[in-house]
C-alpha cells in the first residue's frame, strides 16, 4: 500500500471514530462558534459486519466542533444544513467506515481487501418529542458509498432509518439509537459476494442482493469538563433477516463493537453562538 493510501485509511478511520464515540461537548445555550482539539481513542471493531474476527485500534482522533448557520460539525457528524425548522430539518451529511485486511480474516483470505469508505448524502430529521433535557428524533439518511482505494469509486448506496433519543443527565450527554439498515446490490456484493474465482472448498460462490441489511443499536455517552472531553460507545449488530444472511462470508449474525476516547480542546473561537437555533 502507498503512503498516501495508508494515510487516507487512517484519516477516514479517525473520522469514523470521532463520530462513533459521540465527539461533541454537552449542549450549551451559548457556545463558541468553533472548537479545536486532539485526542486518542481505543476501539474494538469487527473486520466487517458479520465477521467472526475483530481488530483492536489505538489511534489519534481529531476534535472539531463548528456551529455555523449552514455548516455544522458536532455530535451529529459533519453536515451542511439545507432546511431547518422547529421540528424538521434536512442536511447533507458525511459518514466513514474502516478498512479490513483480507489476509488477516479467515473468511476472506485470498479475496480483495475491503477499502475504507466515505459516505455522503441527504438526511431528513423529524423531532417526535422533546423535554427540557431530552429529544426523541426520527432520522432518514440516504448516502452514496465511496471506496477510498487507489482511486475513488462509488460502490453503492446505503440507508439507515433510525430512532434516536438524546438526553442530558448530571453533566453527561447520552444517546440511544436503533437503526434498520439497507443497501443496494453493489454495496452488498462488495462485502458479501464471492466471485467464482474466489470460491474454495469451504467458501462457495455467492451473489448478494440489495435490500435489508439487519439492525443496529448504539449507546453512547460523553462529558465535557473544562478543556477535557471524553466519551464511549457500544454498538450491537444483528444480521437477522438480512438479504445476504446466507453468504459464506457471514460467520456471525450478532456482534458487538465498542470504544472509548478522550480529547483536549486547545483552541476556541471568541465568537459566541446559540446552539438552540
CB-CB contact of 185 with 156 (8 Å): yes
Look at residue 160 and give its three-state secondary structure: coil
**What is the maximal distance between C-alpha atoms in the chain?**
64
Name beta bridge partners: 267: 36
Overall size of the chain counted in residues: 277
Cell of 168: 442530558
CB-CB contact of 260 with 231 (8 Å): yes
Domains of the chain: 3-274 (2.40.230)
Per-residue pLDDT in tens (0 to 9) along the chain, 277 residues: 433 344 444 444 455 554 444 444 444 557 888 888 999 999 999 999 999 999 999 988 888 887 777 666 666 666 666 677 778 888 888 888 889 999 999 999 999 999 999 999 999 999 999 999 999 999 999 999 999 988 889 999 999 999 999 999 998 999 999 999 999 999 999 999 999 999 999 999 999 999 999 999 999 999 989 999 988 999 999 999 999 999 999 999 999 999 998 999 999 888 887 764 4
Q: What is the pTM of this model?
A: 0.84
Could you please report the per-residue DSSP string of 188-251? HHHHH-B-GGG--SSS--B---SEEEEEEEEEEEEEEETTEEEEEEEEEEE-TT-TTTT-TT--
Residue 71's nearest CA partner among 61, 85, 84, 62 is 84
Q: Which residues of 241-252 are buried (b: 16+ CB within 10 A; e: fewer)?
A: ebbbeebbbbbe
Amino acid at each position: 500500500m502507498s503512503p498516501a493510501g495508508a494515510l487516507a485509511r487512517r484519516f477516514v478511520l479517525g473520522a469514523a471514530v470521532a463520530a462513533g464515540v459521540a465527539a461533541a461537548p454537552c449542549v450549551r445555550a451559548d457556545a463558541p462558534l468553533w472548537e479545536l482539539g486532539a485526542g486518542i481513542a481505543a476501539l474494538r471493531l469487527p473486520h466487517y459486519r458479520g465477521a467472526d474476527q475483530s481488530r483492536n485500534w489505538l489511534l489519534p482522533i481529531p476534535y472539531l466542533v463548528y456551529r455555523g448557520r449552514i455548516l455544522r460539525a458536532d455530535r451529529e457528524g459533519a453536515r451542511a444544513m439545507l432546511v431547518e425548522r422547529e421540528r424538521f430539518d434536512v442536511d447533507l451529511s458525511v459518514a466513514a467506515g474502516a478498512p479490513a485486511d483480507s489476509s488477516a480474516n479467515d473468511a476472506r483470505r485470498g479475496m480483495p481487501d475491503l477499502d475504507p469508505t466515505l459516505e455522503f448524502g441527504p438526511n431528513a430529521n423529524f423531532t417526535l418529542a422533546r423535554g427540557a433535557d431530552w429529544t426523541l428524533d426520527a432520522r432518514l439518511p440516504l448516502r452514496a458509498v465511496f471506496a477510498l482505494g487507489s482511486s475513488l469509486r462509488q460502490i453503492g448506496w446505503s440507508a439507515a432509518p433510525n430512532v434516536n433519543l438524546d438526553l442530558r443527565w448530571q453533566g453527561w450527554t447520552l444517546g440511544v439509537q436503533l437503526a434498520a439498515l439497507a443497501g443496494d446490490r453493489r454495496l452488498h456484493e462488495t462485502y458479501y459476494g464471492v466471485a467464482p474465482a474466489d470460491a474454495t472448498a469451504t467458501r462457495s460462490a455467492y451473489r448478494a442482493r440489495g435490500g435489508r441489511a439487519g439492525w443496529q443499536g448504539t449507546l453512547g455517552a460523553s462529558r465535557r469538563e473544562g478543556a477535557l472531553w471524553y466519551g464511549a460507545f457500544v454498538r450491537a449488530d444483528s444480521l437477522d433477516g438480512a438479504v445476504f444472511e446466507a453468504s459464506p462470508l457471514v460467520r456471525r449474525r450478532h456482534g458487538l463493537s465498542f470504544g472509548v476516547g478522550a480529547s483536549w480542546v486547545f483552541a476556541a473561537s471568541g465568537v459566541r453562538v446559540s446552539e438552540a437555533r
